[in-house]
Amino acid sequence: MAGTKKAIFDKRKKLLLFTFVLYLRQHKRMINKMSHVSIYVLDQDSAYDFYVNKLGFKVATDAAMGPGMRWLTVTPPDQPDLEITLMPIKSGMMFTEESAEQMKNLVKKGTFGFGVFKCNDIYATYEELKAKGVEFSKAPKKEFYGIEALFKDDSGNWFSLGQKEEGEN
C-alpha cells in the first residue's frame, strides 16, 4: 500500500517537474526579440523623406534631444515593434571628426547593405518605388532563393527587396 502511494507521489513529482521545464522553455528564453536596429544616414531630414514618403514607413519616435540632435525612428508598416533608428553620422560621442568623415564616405560609396525588406508583390513595389525616384541597382530577378531586387536609400545604404512566399507572415 505504502509502495503504491510512493509510486503515485513519484509520478506526480515527475509530471510537475516536466510542466515546470516546459514553462521555462516557453517563457524564459534569453533573447526573444529585436527592438531597435540602426541605419547610418547622411542627413536625417532627407532620410525621413526617403523612408516615410517613399518607402511608406511609419514614424515611431521623432524627438528633439537638444541643439542639433534628434532621435528619429521608423518602422515598416507591418512590423511596428521593430524601430529602425535613422542615425546621423556626426562627430561627437560616437565618432571622432576623422571617423565620422570616413564613415560618411563609406556610406556614400554603398559599402553597407543593411538588410532585406519584404513586400507582397515585388514587381508592383519595384514599379512604384522607381516612379518615386528610388535608385535600383538590380531589377526584380528570379534567383534560386526567390525573386530579388536591390535598391539604395538616399544616403547610399543598399537593401535587398524580396517577395513574401505563400503563407509567410
Partner 1 sequence: MAADEYPKVYLYRRIVHAKLFIDNHYDGAIDLDNIADEALFSKFHFIRLFKRIYGLTPHQYLIHVRIEKAMQLLRNGMPVSDTCFAVGFESLSSFSSLFKRTAGISPTDFTAYHQKIKALVTQKPLGFVPGCFAKANGWH
Please give the residue ranges that form the binding site for partner 1 (CB under 8 A). Answer: 35-36, 61-66, 69, 71, 85, 92-94, 120-121, 123-124, 127-128, 131, 136, 139-142
> Distance between CA atoms of 13 and 41, rounded to whole angstroms?
57
Task: Supply the minimum distance, in Å, between the C-beta of residue 127 and partner 1.
Answer: 4
For residue 139, how many other CB atoms are within 10 A of its CB? 13
Task: Supply the minimum distance, in Å, between the C-beta of residue 65 and partner 1.
Answer: 5
CB 160 within 8 A of CB 113: yes
Nearer to partner 1, 3 or 67 (CB): 67
CB 122 within 8 A of CB 140: yes
Task: Supply the minimum distance, in Å, between the C-beta of residue 36 and partner 1.
Answer: 6
Nearer to partner 1, 45 or 127 (CB): 127
Nearer to partner 1, 46 or 164 (CB): 164
Nearer to partner 1, 10 or 121 (CB): 121
Please name the residue that has the C-alpha cell 512566399.
165
Task: Supply the minimum distance, in Å, between the C-beta of residue 41 and partner 1.
Answer: 15
CB 18 within 8 A of CB 122: no
CA angle (155 as vertex; 149, 157 as ends), nearest 5? 40
